[in-house]
Structure 1
Amino acid sequence: MSSTPPKPNRGPSAGPENRRALVAAARQVFAADGFSAPLSAVAKRAGVGQGSLYRHFPDRLSLALAVLDENVGELEEHAGLPDATLDTLLDVVIDQALVTSPFVEAILGEGDDPRVIALGTRLDRLAHALHAKELAAHRIADHVEPDDILMAISMVGATLTRIPDSHRADTAARAKAMFRRSFGR
């Protein structure tokens, strides 16, 4: 079994790079082996020691939140693009859902955690901004609320994480078509 050799210790200057490597490794390890995979496997995949892992992420939830924070950042970045629409945002959610379902599952019971609340607040702001943009462009009906957009994002993500790979593309296309019909003018 081959493994990535540990990186030479560069001290505090390596911190940001190590953190990025750990988040990327967590995506891979947990997507392949589930959220209960050993944290040592994440450190090994990232090419860092376990001490570095625990310095950045003192517990499993912290690691899950770091991955989801990146996802929300990607959604925010996408929603800020001039040509972003609800349809294109759902495409990003679909891509993310295929890799991050273990992380979403991990935070479901942590709704009172301030870090989870902060992620929810960011998603809420994103939904409100996209809602205003879609209304102004006349791409959604007046009856659609920002919470409807949040529900659509949640439903697509949750559904895709629970079905076999072979059905995901068709299910994603059907979900997007359903939202278009429900939200359209």
Structure 2
Amino acid sequence: MTQHPRPDERRSPNPGPKAAARNRAALIAAAREIYAEAGLNAPLSAIARRAGVGQGVLYRHFPDRAAVAAAVLEENVRQVEQAAAAEGATFEDALGVLSWHLTESSAFISLLHADEADRRSGTSATHAYARALSERVERALRDRLPPGHRLAAADDLTLAVAMVSGAVIGPTHEERTARVLAAWRLLGVEVGPVRPFEG
């Protein structure tokens, strides 16, 4: 005779795609934190632990280290784009979100310097993806740039972002935030609250 489990013994239904999406989001958030603390060479096992998943789950979403970094960068860029596109958003708001990402992600700073790295290394194919993301950041910011703004000239916005990103140093988030705000202030540019986009 087959025994059927009692209702209180049944396994919960498999959450399926919902769990996969949650795990992926948790891995990206964990990677951003780990990279901010330990740099891009941090062990992938640390990212999985921080996200609360096993390494097998990490590798199901991201086959290698480069894929994890690319996902973090894509998420950073997407948040800047969303901040710039949000209803009622200002240029200052978008700069605040960009500045938060600068303080949180050394990989994001590298992305914004992709063109310079290309010029030095002579391997433009290596950085094509990074350049494309960098251009998306510039387009998002330029869409909110008020007419006549001090950064409206051809390359001034790109140069200002590169200059500010170069100033973002310090062992704590507070120190990096103070530096990013001081850099914008020296350039005479107003910045909204330095925080992630919460759409």
Which runs of no fewer than 5 residues in structure 2 stay unpaired?
A: 1-11, 119-123, 190-199
Equivalent AA in structure 1 for residue 23 of structure 2 = N
TM (normalized to structure 2)?
0.68
**Distance of 1:90 and 1:67 partners within structure 2:** 19
Per-residue deviation, 1:65: 1.6
Deviation at 1:157?
A: 2.4
| Cα deviation, residue 42, structure 1 | 0.9
Tell me if structure 1 keeps the 8 A contact 2:101–2:108.
no
Partner Cα distance (2:171, 2:57) in 1: 35
Which range is displaced more, 43-52 or 96-105?
96-105
RMSD of the alignment, in Å? Answer: 3.1
* Contact 1:128-1:146 at 8 Å conserved across structures: no
Matched, 1:22 2:27: yes
* Corresponding residue of 2:196: none
Aligned to 2:180: 172
**What secondary structure sits across from 1:180 in the alignment?**
coil
Q: Partner residue of 2:136?
A: 122
Q: Which runs of 5+ in 1 are unaligned?
A: 1-7
Runs of 4 or more, structure 1, over 6 Å off, are none
Q: Deviations over 1:12-37 (max 9, x none)?
A: 52321111111011112222222211
Q: TM-score, normalised by structure 1?
A: 0.72
Deviating more after overlay: 78-87 vs 23-32: 78-87
C-alpha change, 1:46 and 1:82, in structure 2 (3 Å) is closer
How many residues matched? 167
Could you say which structure has the larger radius of gyration? 2
**Within 5 A, what are the aligned runs for 1:1-185?**
10=14, 12-13=16-17, 14-105=19-110, 108=114, 112=125, 113-131=127-145, 134-135=146-147, 138=148, 140-141=149-150, 144-145=152-153, 147-160=155-168, 162-163=169-170, 165=172, 167-180=175-188
Corresponding residue for residue 5 of structure 2: none
Please tell me whether the aligned partners of residues 25 and 45 of structure 1 are also in contact (alpha carbons under 8 angstroms): yes
Q: Could you tell which deviates more after superposition, 86-95 or 107-116?
A: 107-116
